[in-house]
Chains A and B, each alone.
Chain A
Amino acid sequence: MKIKSEKDFWSGLMFIVVGVAFAWGATAYKFGSSARPGPGYFPFGLAILMAVLGGIILFKALTFEVEGGDKIGRWAWKPLTTITATVAIFGWMLPHMGMFVALPILIFVAALAGDEFRWKETIISAAVLTSGCWIVFIYGLQLTIPLWPAFLVR
C-alpha cells in the first residue's frame, strides 16, 4: 500500500475520523423515526455521509497516481504556534490586563512570528496600532473594552 496523494490521504482520514466522532456523538441524542425525526437524526445522517465520502477520498488517494505526489510539505511550526498562542494569550489578557497592555503584547509576540523582527519598527507599529484601535473601537464605536489592568482600576 503506497500513498499516491499525501494531501488527499490525510484529508480523507480527517473526514473519516471527524465523521465517526460526530456519528458516535449523535447516538447520545434521540434518533426518532423518519416521521418524527429527533435531535440525533440529521447529525447522524450527515456524519455517516461525511465518513463515507472521506473513505472515497482515502481510496482515491491510495489508487490514483498524482503528479508530484501532492506532498503536504513542511509545516510552518513557528508561525503556527506563535500566532495561535498570541491570540489565546490576548483572549486571557484583555479582560484581565486591559487593552493598553494586551494589545502591545499581541503585536510584539505576533511580530516574532515573522522572520524580519526589528525592535524599533515593532515599537512604532505597536504605538500606532494601539492608538488606532482606541480611536476606532473606543472613541469611534464606543465599545466597552477594559482599557487598564483590573487591579489598577479597582
Chain B
Amino acid sequence: MDLINNLMLGFGIAFTLQNLAYAFGGALLGTLIGVLPGLGPVATIAMLLPSIYALDATPALIMLAGIYYGAQYGGSTTAILINVPGESSSVVTAIDGYQMARKGRAGAALAAAGLGSFFAGCVGTIIIAAFAPPLTELAFKFGPAEYFSLMVLGLIGAVVLASGSLVKAICMIVLGLLLGQINTDVISGVPRYSFDIPELTDGIGFVAIAMGIFGFGEIISNLGQPAENREVFTKDVKGLWPTKQDFKNAWPAVLRGTALGSILGVLPGGGALLASFAAYTVEKKMRMKPGEVPFGKGNIRGVAGPESANNAGAQTSFIPMLTLGIPPNAVMALMVGAMTIKGIQPGPQVMTSNPELFWGLIASMWVGNAMLVILNLPLIGIWIKLLTVPYRFLFPAIMSFCCIGLYTLNNNAFDVYMGAGFAVVGYLFYKLGCEPAPLLLGFILGPMMEENLRRALLLSRGDWTTFMTRPLSASLLIAAFLMIVIVMLPSIKNKRQAAFKDAD
C-alpha cells in the first residue's frame, strides 16, 4: 500500500538520530517559548529563520514544526495555570482550565490537555498522510482564477478569527497586501514604492515586520503597563493524573474535538483557533451528565475538547501549506518563508520533488507529538518555575535575540532599522485596537495574489466574471461571502466577542 510505504519512508527519515534531535530541540524550544509570555511562536520562528541557512531543508522544517507544536502545548499550560493563554488558540482553554486549576485540579487539566492533544495529533498525522495526496491532485486543477479565489477565502477566514471589528480586520489585510506591493513588479520589472532605496526593491523582509510588530511592539505595550498588571503568579500543582470519572467524561469530548479540528484545520485561514472555539461551543451544547461541573466553572470537557481540536487543527493545517503552498496562519506563513529560503517552492510539486522532506515532516509530526507528552507531563513543575522569571530580565533577552536575528537576515543593518520602524507601527496598532495578525497574512499573500489576479485577467482577456463562471473559483468566493455573512449575524458576533473577551 502506498500509504504504508510512504509512512515507512517518512519514519525512516524521522528516526535518524539527527532529525530526532531537531524534533526534540524544536519541541523543547517551542514549549519554553509557549510558556513565556510575550514570546510567541511567530517571533521565535522569525528569530530562527536566519539560522536555517546553516541547516538542511528537512531538519530545518522538522525543527520549526516542533516549535509550532511545542508552543501550542506551552500556551495551554499557561492558560490553565495562570489564565494567560500563551497563544491565541489556547484562549478557550483558559476559560475552564483556569477554574480547574483554582480548585487545585491543575494536574488533571494539564494531563487532559496533554493526552487529548496527543491523541488528536496521532489522528491528524494519519489524516495528513492519507488525504494530502488526493488533495494535491485537486491542487493541480487550480488555475490562476481558483488560486485568487482561494486566497480571498483564506484572507476572509483570517478576518473571522480576529476578535475586533470586522471592517478594521479587513483593512489590516488590505494594508498587508499593500505592504506586499513594495517590491519589484514580477511581470514588468518596475520597482514599486521603493523611493530609490535598493533594499526596498526586494520587498520588506517578512521577519522585520513580524519582529517589529509582534516582538518589539509587544514589549513596548507590556512596558507601558504598570508592573502589577504584568507580574505573573504561580500556584502549586497537586495531583498529576485525572480520576477515572474524568477520563470517562473527557474521552467523548476528545473524539469530537479531534473530528472538528481535523476538518476545520484543512480550510485555509481556519486553523487551530477556529477549531478550538467551535469545539468549546459543541461541548457546551452537549447534554450534561448528572453531577457534572457546569461550564465556566471547571468542566474537564471544556479543556479536553478544545485542546484536542486545537491540536488536530494545527496538524491538518499543514495540508493547505504542503499541497497548495498557501499558509493558513502566521506560523505557517513563516514555514513557507523557511521553505523558500531553502530554495523549495511550496506547492503541490513538493510531494513529488522532495518526497523525503514531505513524508519525513509528516512522520516527525507524530514524533514531535509523542515527545511533547514525554516532555510535558513530568516537567510541568519546571515550566511553572520559568514563569517566575521577572519581565525585566525577559525583555532585554528577547530584544537581544531579535536584533541579532534581524541583522543576520541579510548581514545588513537595514533590516534592523526596518524592525525599529515597525516597532512603532506595532505599538500604534496596539493603541488603535487594530490586530496585526491579518496584516501578516495579507503581506505574505499579496504578491502571490497579484500575480494570480493578473494572470487570470490576462487569460480571460480582462473579463472579471471569470472568477464567477469557473465553478471551483465561484464556490470558493461564495464560501468567503458566506463567512462574512455569518460573522455579521448578531448572535455569532456576540459569541465571538464573549470568546475573545478574556483574551484582551
Binding site for B on A (CB under 8 A): 7-8, 10-11, 14-15, 18-19, 22, 25, 29-30, 33-39, 41-43, 46-47, 49-50, 53-54, 56-57, 60, 70, 72-76, 78-80, 83-88, 90-92, 94-95, 99, 103, 106-107, 110-111, 113-117, 121-122, 125-126, 129-130, 132-133, 136-137, 141-145
- Given contacts A7-B433, A87-B416, A129-B400, whether A54 and B219 have CB atoms under 8 Å apart is no
A103 to chain B, nearest CB (A): 6
Per-residue CB contact flags for chain B residues 432-450 toward chain A (1 = under 8 Å, else 0) read 1110000000000000011
| 29 pairs, A vs B, C-beta closer than 8 Å | A22-B178, A33-B462, A34-B463, A39-B185, A39-B187, A54-B171, A57-B165, A60-B167, A72-B431, A72-B432, A79-B223, A80-B427, A83-B223, A85-B420, A87-B403, A90-B403, A91-B420, A94-B404, A94-B413, A106-B403, A114-B392, A116-B390, A117-B392, A121-B393, A129-B396, A129-B400, A137-B51, A142-B54, A145-B408
Query: Which residues of chain A have C-beta atoms less than 8 A from B453's C-beta?
Result: 37, 42
CA distance A9 to B325 in the complex (A): 37
17 new A-B contacts, CB < 8 A, other than A37-B453, A56-B167, are: A38-B188, A42-B450, A42-B454, A46-B174, A72-B431, A75-B431, A76-B221, A79-B220, A91-B419, A95-B413, A99-B404, A110-B399, A122-B396, A125-B397, A137-B51, A137-B408, A143-B50
CA distance A58 to B272 in the complex (A): 32
Q: Is B19 an interface residue (CB 8 A)?
A: no
Interface SS, A side: helix
Per-residue CB contact flags for chain B residues 216-231 toward chain A (1 = under 8 Å, else 0) read 1001110111010000
Q: Is the Cβ of B171 less than 8 Å from the Cβ of A57?
A: yes
CA distance A92 to B407 in the complex (A): 10
- Given contacts A11-B433, A125-B393, whether A133 and B223 have CB atoms under 8 Å apart is no
Query: Which residues of chain B have C-beta atoms less than 8 A from A60's C-beta?
Result: 167
Q: Is the Cβ of B462 less than 8 Å from the Cβ of A53?
A: no
Per-residue CB contact flags for chain B residues 147-190 toward chain A (1 = under 8 Å, else 0) read 00000000000000000010110110011011001000101101
CA distance A21 to B354 in the complex (A): 43
Q: Is the Cβ of B399 less than 8 Å from the Cβ of A86?
A: yes
Per-residue CB contact flags for chain B residues 380-405 toward chain A (1 = under 8 Å, else 0) read 00000000001111011101110110
B425 to chain A, nearest CB (A): 10
B423 to chain A, nearest CB (A): 5
Q: Is the Cβ of B454 less than 8 Å from the Cβ of A87?
A: no
Q: Is B458 an interface residue (CB 8 A)?
A: yes
- Given contacts A76-B221, A87-B399, A133-B404, whether A15 and B171 have CB atoms under 8 Å apart is yes
CA distance A6 to B461 in the complex (A): 45
B280 to chain A, nearest CB (A): 26
Look across to chain A and name the residue whose beta carbon is closest to the beta carbon of B460: A35
B415 to chain A, nearest CB (A): 8
Query: Which residues of chain A have C-beta atoms less than 8 A from B434's C-beta?
Result: 11
Q: Is B484 an interface residue (CB 8 A)?
A: no
Q: Is the Cβ of B400 less than 8 Å from the Cβ of A106?
A: yes
Q: Is the Cβ of A106 less than 8 Å from the Cβ of B462?
A: no
Look across to chain A and name the residue whose beta carbon is closest to the beta carbon of B413: A91
CA distance A99 to B216 in the complex (A): 20
B: number of interface residues (CB 8 Å): 67
Number of A-B contacts (CB under 8 A): 202
Query: Which residues of chain A have C-beta atoms less than 8 A from B396's C-beta?
Result: 106-107, 110-111, 122, 125-126, 129
- Given contacts A34-B464, A57-B168, whether A43 and B181 have CB atoms under 8 Å apart is yes
Look across to chain B and name the residue whose beta carbon is closest to the beta carbon of A15: B171
Per-residue CB contact flags for chain B residues 21-39 toward chain A (1 = under 8 Å, else 0) read 0000000000000000000
Q: Is the Cβ of B171 less than 8 Å from the Cβ of A30?
A: no
Query: Which residues of chain A have C-beta atoms less than 8 A from B411's C-beta?
Result: 144
A43 to chain B, nearest CB (A): 4
Q: Is the Cβ of A133 less than 8 Å from the Cβ of B187?
A: no
Selected contact of A43 from candidates B192, B401, B463, CB within 8 Å: B192
Interface SS, B side: helix
Q: Is the Cβ of B224 less than 8 Å from the Cβ of A79?
A: yes
CA distance A49 to B173 in the complex (A): 11
Query: Which residues of chain A have C-beta atoms less than 8 A from B461's C-beta?
Result: 35
Q: Which of B190, B396, B433 has the most CB of A within 10 A?
A: B396
Q: Is the Cβ of A143 less than 8 Å from the Cβ of B433?
A: no
Selected contact of B432 from candidates A14, A36, A43, A86, CB within 8 Å: A14
- Given contacts A42-B450, A72-B432, A76-B220, whether A50 and B404 have CB atoms under 8 Å apart is no
Q: Is the Cβ of A53 less than 8 Å from the Cβ of B219?
A: no
Look across to chain A and name the residue whose beta carbon is closest to the beta carbon of B54: A141
Per-residue CB contact flags for chain B residues 354-398 toward chain A (1 = under 8 Å, else 0) read 000000000000000000000000000000000000111101110
Q: Is the Cβ of B399 less than 8 Å from the Cβ of A141?
A: no
Q: Is the Cβ of B167 less than 8 Å from the Cβ of A110?
A: no
Q: Which of A85, A91, A115, A126 has the most CB of B within 10 A?
A: A91
Q: Is B481 an interface residue (CB 8 A)?
A: no
Query: Which residues of chain A have C-beta atoms less than 8 A from B401's C-beta?
Result: 133, 136
A147 to chain B, nearest CB (A): 12
Query: Which residues of chain A have C-beta atoms less than 8 A from B225's C-beta?
Result: 76
Query: Which residues of chain A have C-beta atoms less than 8 A from B219's C-beta?
Result: 79, 83
Q: Is B457 an interface residue (CB 8 A)?
A: yes
CA distance A130 to B406 in the complex (A): 16
Selected contact of A116 from candidates B174, B216, B224, B227, CB within 8 Å: B227
